[in-house]
Amino acid sequence: MNLQPQFVRSEVLPVRNAARIAPPPRLSRKPERRTPRSYESAPPDAILFISVACLVAIGMVMVFSASSTTAYAVHHDVAYFFKRQLMWLGVGSLAAWGAFRIDYTKLRAFAPALFILTTLALVAVLVPHLGASVNGSRRWLGISSLSIQPSEFAKLTLVFFLAVRLADMGERILSFSRGVVPLLIATFLVALLIQREPDMGTASIIVAIGFVMLFVAGARIPHLLGGILFTAPVVVYSIFAHSYQRERILAFLNPWKDPLNYGFHIVQSLYALGSGGWWGVGLGASREKFFYLPEQYTDFIFSIVGEELGLIGTLTVVALFVVFATRAVKIAMRAEDRFGYFLALGCTALIVVQAFINIGVVTSSWPVTGVPLPFISFGGSALVVDLIAVALIANVGRRRRIGS
């Protein structure tokens, strides 16, 4: 199978480090050409939509199951969180439909403005009486069920911004000062504001998305390593400056050292996964959701999947993410322009990296960070952003040059 981007035949994309995905084409000193062409709409990728639809369906069922005990105890309605998730699914579906139908090339003009607005929203979250504080963290704007989480939208905004800059950058990406540094500054600015909420999980995803997009764009490995080494002291200080963050990060190494405090989440998560066995204890029959496992319908919902549906259920979820990632990368490699290529790959990284980190956390393979599982975990802002990201990937895939 030839996975070389089709547009490389007529337009040049600097993908020096993308050799693992496609053969690296010759670099161009010029920005992306914007010569008008005639395009037609190709059929949407059915496998991509089916995989996402299955993940969303599993998520809706598991949100109802995992949240029912908390919903009844707090709101006297076992379907309280399910109804809210269903509402956000409707909002996300409408937003995704719009993102799928619009000509994505017209969106590139709005990328700088969206980046500025998102940055201002992240600043507003930190302002008292503007940002809503829950459990000591300021992550929301708004009230009650109408609140949104700007950090979730920041991931998508950053993908837009980097896709536009990388599409126009050409060979400058090989320069550390003119190519890598400006984009790293934008990435770390967003990550720093999110870290101040504090939300280390989302901040780490922001940084990961930035490095993935720079890597596939052709940035030199020494330049990327230099960026990591430059920011490493700041990251280490932010972790070890607060004892609770330090203990939570290190708890995954030996959660049984403090099973009733910092290791509690991981220990209960492993209990849930272990008790599920091959086939699980049965849908709705989880015991950990009865106030043993914290965040059982958000960050640790994958543990409930393992307990109720067993190893078969968890492997099914992982397989669906693999199918999604495979199809999304294939769509990106067939993009008709560089902006579409970077946009599709960035949206793919947004979802896949987050899924990888969440599954790593609940299996004690990754430090505990507050990262939801895409399409599965309860959370309105996250679901809307994930659905828009999928729609943009499909949008890139449906645009093809007439006669191609």
In a domain, 25, yes or no: no
pLDDT at 133: 67
Q: Tens of pLDDT along 165-209?
A: 999 988 899 999 899 999 999 999 999 999 888 888 898 899 999
User: Does residue 18 register a pLDDT over 60?
Assistant: no
**What is the structure's pLDDT at 37?**
57
Residue 352 inside a domain? The answer is yes
Question: Residue 1: its pLDDT value, please?
Answer: 44
pLDDT-based confidence at residue 24 (cuts at 50, 70, 90): very low
Kind of pairing between the strands at 137-141 and 399-401 = unpaired
Q: Which of 348, 316, 315 is nearest to 331 (CA)?
A: 348
Lowest mean per-residue pLDDT among 86-95, 217-226, 228-237: 228-237
pLDDT tens-digit map of 361-404: 999 888 888 889 999 999 999 999 999 999 999 999 987 654 44
Residue 211 lies in a domain: yes
Q: Is residue 191 part of a domain?
A: yes
Supply the pLDDT for residue 25.
Answer: 38
pLDDT tens figures, 287-300: 999 999 999 999 99
What pLDDT is attached to residue 32?
53
Instruction: Give the H/E segment covering residue 310.
Output: helix 301-333
Q: CA end-to-end span of the chain, whole Å? A: 17
Q: What is the pLDDT of residue 71?
A: 96
Residue carrying the six token digits 């993009």: 335
**Chain centroid offset of residue 21 CA:** 20
Instruction: Tell me how far apart the alpha carbons of residues 119 and 189 are, in angstroms, rounded to a whole number.
Output: 8
Q: Is 138 helix (H, G, I), strand (E, B) or coil?
A: strand
Q: Looking at the domain assignment, is residue 31 inside a domain? A: no
Question: Confidence band (pLDDT; 50, 70, 90) for 134?
Answer: low
pLDDT recorded at residue 4: 43
DSSP character string of 17-81: TGGGTSPPPPP-SSPPP-----EEEPPP-HHHHHHHHHHHHHHHHHHHHHHHHHHHHHHS-TTHH
Range of the domain at 381: 41-401
Q: Is the pLDDT of residue 31 over 90?
A: no
In a domain, 281, yes or no: yes
Q: Flag whether pLDDT at 160 surpasses 80.
A: yes
269 part of a folded domain: yes
Q: What pLDDT, on the 0 to 100 scale, is given for residue 145?
A: 59
The total of structural domains in the chain comes to 1
- Mean pLDDT on 256-266: 86
Is there a contact between 354 and 124 (Cβ–Cβ < 8 Å)? Answer: no
The stretches of 218-300 forming alpha helices (DSSP H) are 221-240, 243-250, 264-276
- Rounded mean pLDDT of the chain? 86
User: Residue 266 is encoded by which pair of tokens?
Assistant: 């991981």
Token match 């599993």: residue?
58
The residues near 379 (Cβ < 8 Å, ≥ 6 apart) are 88, 149, 152, 298, 372
**Nearest in space to 376 (alpha carbons), one of 290, 308, 276, 274:** 308
Residue 318 resides in a domain: yes
DSSP state of 108: G
> pLDDT tens digits, residue range 294-319?
999 999 999 999 999 999 999 999 99
**Predicted local distance difference test score (pLDDT) of residue 230:** 82
Tokens of 6: 């089709």
354-357 long-range contacts (CB < 8 A, ≥24 apart) are: 354/205, 355/321, 357/201, 357/204, 357/205
**270-280 residue pLDDT tens:** 999 999 999 99
